[in-house]
Amino acid sequence: MIMLADWHPDIIEFIISKMQNPRILRYLIENTNDEAIKKYAQDKLKFTPLTQQEIDMYQGIVNYKQIPGTGGFSEKIIKDAELKLRTGGTYSVHNSEFLTGANISITLTKDFMDAVENDAEYELRFPDVESYTQQEMNEYNENWHKVGDVREWAGLGYKVRTYRKIKAKELWNLINICATYSAEPGIFFIDNANDMTNAKAYGQQVVATNPCGKVA
């Protein structure tokens, strides 16, 4: 299992990279208002145009539509041939084997869910390592894996870079569409988990969960 936080700058690419259904990719391209979602969906989608031989073959099938007996072709076969001609080719996906051996999930924060509810923009952020001094970089290498939350990192006084802002509902819709039609990503409400976990009594916190513990 691989988990990524909702504030991570790579969250859109992370979700779309696992999508194996070309119909859903086409739906995202046609319906999203976010250019990054559209771009990653377009990059993932693969289109193979029909060869001239295939065009002639499908047209030959369609020509039987008005002939009694339809040449022995069923209505389904004729409709499929018509669809192939209208589409002009077949859709599939690039890198179809990418991450096939792992489930992906997302940790959702209260900040993100509040932004969804309020139809607000949401910042995709990460520690601003490009601008760190050598001392700050040493502290990042030593401590980031212990913190692992950009909000807490910023609260400690370290510089954080906002890579972009996205309408929270656009990201929420992407998560829901992909989860509905491909069962991924799973979602884990990380702040809720930490509010309720008894790990707090031991000075610990939840940072991830196994696949059986998430809400998918």
* pLDDT digit string (tens) for the chain, length 216 residues: 788 999 999 999 999 998 889 999 999 999 999 999 999 999 999 999 999 999 999 999 999 988 988 888 999 999 999 999 998 999 999 887 777 777 889 999 999 999 999 999 999 999 999 999 999 999 999 999 989 999 999 999 999 999 999 999 999 999 999 999 888 898 989 898 888 888 778 878 777 776 555 444
Which pLDDT belongs to residue 200? 79
Distance CA 1, CA 185 (A): 10
Q: How many CA atoms lie within 13 A of 44 on its CB side?
A: 27
Q: What is the CA radius of gyration of the chain?
A: 23
Provide the 3-class DSSP secondary structure of residue 166. strand
Which pLDDT belongs to residue 210? 63
Distance CA 216, CA 213 (A): 9
* CA-wise closest residue to 208 among 122, 148, 125: 148
Alpha helices in 33-118 (DSSP H): 35-44, 52-63, 75-87, 110-117
119 with 169: CB under 8 angstroms?
A: yes
* CA-wise closest residue to 195 among 110, 115, 106, 107: 110
H or E element in which residue 165 lies: strand 160-167
Q: Which 8-state DSSP code applies to residue 157?
A: T
